[in-house]
């Protein structure tokens, strides 16, 4: 994949699930889907920037977007995509059979075990994830690791076994059930988390050793942050130049809803010329990827691990 700029693109806020840990307010999750532009207008807007994009499409639930498959088809003509999905919408079967997997960096399939069982959505998840895997997509299954999910993690492992996938524990961050995470993890939670992260790395190492670059979401190393999440404030970062945040209406922000850089749809988007100090907060996955290398220290774990896999080193951190 050769791209100039990556977008963390919230395509819509709407979702059919109501996970207790979701950072999006429930009234937004339940809102009517609003499309701000046609497929052709989105394609034209990305193309008109003159850059090649890696669009990380997230939400809400992107696969519920009208013309989701047509949008992905149009974008992957010239650009690349990656996807966050809860795997519940049947449009994913059409996606699997019409999109070129080589234009898709990775798919993060969120298992959301408790919500899914509550809605009898397990079969759909397995069907859609299996179809994507056999049609050649790099699919990573993540599970938001609340304490109760960590206790039931073996169940998630058994659930995915028949389709040849493995759950990756994803760090619980922010407020949940009256506590603030990751600080609220107990020693037992942390120990479980580390064990399952290690097993997930073992499972995915062969798949990841075959790809051009590690997935932007370095969830396989979330165990590095069970004690605390890193603070990137003040560090030199390429956000605004190599990475931007894209809103459903085309508005572009440097990062974390700060520093508007115009609108992609109306052609007013302006890319920054150079790295600048971080003045925002975001998920540390993109921070790890775009902060200047000398500033990251221990936070380059996903990249170091992946390059050792690629280099054939016999020592890969467990
Ligand atoms: S599936 Fe994702 S977007 Fe939907 S409610 Fe759950 S966490 Fe939020
Ligand atoms: S929050 Fe992360 S991605 Fe955003 S500017 Fe800061 S370091 Fe860069």
Q: Which ligand is closest to the CA of 11, given by its number?
A: 1
Query: 92 is in which domain, residue-wise?
Result: 5-233+273-311
Q: Is residue 254 part of a domain?
A: no
282 alpha carbon – ligand 2 mean position (Å): 6
- Sign of the CA dihedral with 149 first, then 155, 161, and 162 last: negative
Give Cβ neighbours of residue 32 (< 8 Å, ≥ 6 apart): 14
Query: Which pLDDT tens digit goes with each residue over 35-79?
Result: 999 999 999 999 999 999 999 999 999 999 999 999 999 999 999
Distance CA 99, CA 246 (A): 22
Residue 185: φ, ψ to 5°? -60, 135
Indicate the pTM of the whole model. Answer: 0.93
Return the bridge partners of 57, or none: 9, 83
CA distance to 10, 47, 116, 181, per residue, from 177 (Å)? 25, 44, 18, 10
**Scanning the structure block, which residue is given the tokens 């774990």?**
301
User: How many domains, in total, are found in the chain?
Assistant: 1
pLDDT tier for residue 115 given thresholds of 50, 70 and 90: confident
Q: Whose CA is nearest to atom 7 of ligand 2?
A: 287
Q: Within a domain: residue 31?
A: yes
Which of 9, 89, 107, 110, when mutated, tests ligand 1's pocket best, judged by the most ligand atoms within 8 Å of its CB?
110
User: What is the predicted pLDDT for the residue at 252?
Assistant: 98
| Residue 244: inside a domain | no
Atom from ligand 1 closest to the CA of residue 144 = 7
Distance 296 CA to ligand 2 centre (A): 11
Q: Whose CA is nearest to atom 5 of ligand 2?
A: 278
Percent of the chain with pLDDT over 70: 92
Instruction: Spell out the residues 6+ positions from residue 286 whose beta carbon is closer than 8 angstroms to its own.
Output: 6, 8, 216, 239, 243, 255
| Span 187-238, pLDDT tens digits | 999 999 999 999 999 999 988 888 888 899 999 999 999 999 988 999 999 9
Residue 300, domain member (yes or no): yes
Ligand nearest to the CA of 112: 1
User: Could you give the count of Cα atoms lying within 13 Å of 194 in the half-sphere of its Cβ?
Assistant: 12
- Tokens standing for residue 305: 């691990």
Residue 247, domain member (yes or no): no
Q: Whose CA is nearest to atom 3 of ligand 1?
A: 60
Pocket of ligand 2 (CB under 6 A): 232, 235, 237, 239, 255-256, 278, 280-282, 286-287, 290-291
In a domain, 52, yes or no: yes
- 66 burial (CB, 10 Å; 0-12 / 13-18 / 19+) is exposed
Segments of 165-282 assigned E as strands:
167-170, 174-176, 179-181, 236-237, 243-246, 251-255, 258-263, 276-277
Contact of 282 with 256, CB cutoff 8 Å: yes
Residue nearest to atom 8 of ligand 1 (CA): 22
Q: What is the CATH number of the domain that holds 59?
A: 3.20.20
Residue 243 domain-assigned?
Answer: no
Q: How confident is the model at residue 114 (pLDDT cuts 50, 70, 90)?
A: confident
Domain-located, residue 152: yes
CB of 59 within 6 A of ligand 1: the answer is yes
By most ligand atoms within 8 Å of CB, the mutation choice from 244, 255, 300 for ligand 2 is 255
**Higher pLDDT residue, 229 or 317?**
229
């Amino acid at each position: 994949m050769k791209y100039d700029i990556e977008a963390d693109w919230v395509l819509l806020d709407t979702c059919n699930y109501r996970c207790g840990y979701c950072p999006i307010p429930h009234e937004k999750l339940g809102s009517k889907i609003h499309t701000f532009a046609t497929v052709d207008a989105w394609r034209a807007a990305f193309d008109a920037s003159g850059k090649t994009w890696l669009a990380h499409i997230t939400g809400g639930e992107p696969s519920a977007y009208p013309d989701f498959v047509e949008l992905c088809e149009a974008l992957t003509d010239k650009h690349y995509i990656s996807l966050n999905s809860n795997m519940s919408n049947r449009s994913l079967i059409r996606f699997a059979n019409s999109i070129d997997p080589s234009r898709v960096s990775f798919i993060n399939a969120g298992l959301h075990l408790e919500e899914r069982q509550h809605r009898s959505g397990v079969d759909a998840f397995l069907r859609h994830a299996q179809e994507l895997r056999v049609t050649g997509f790099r699919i990573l299954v993540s599970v938001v690791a609340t304490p109760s999910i960590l206790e039931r993690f073996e169940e998630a492992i058994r659930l995915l076994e028949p389709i040849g996938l493995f759950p990756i524990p994803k760090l619980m961050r922010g407020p949940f059930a009256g506590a603030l995470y990751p600080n609220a993890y107990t020693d037992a939670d942390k120990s479980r988390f580390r064990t399952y992260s290690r097993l997930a790395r073992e499972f995915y190492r062969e798949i990841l050793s075959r790809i051009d670059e590690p997935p932007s979401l370095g969830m396989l190393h979330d165990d590095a942050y069970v004690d605390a999440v890193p603070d990137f404030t003040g560090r030199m970062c390429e956000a605004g130049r190599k990475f931007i945040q894209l809103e459903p209406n085309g508005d572009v922000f440097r990062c974390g809803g700060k520093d508007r850089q115009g609108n992609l749809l109306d052609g007013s988007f302006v890319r920054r010329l150079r790295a600048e100090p971080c003045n925002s907060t975001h998920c540390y996955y993109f921070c790890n990827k775009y902060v200047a290398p000398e500033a990251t220290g221990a936070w380059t774990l996903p990249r170091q691990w992946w390059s050792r896999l690629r280099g054939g080193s016999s020592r890969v951190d467990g």
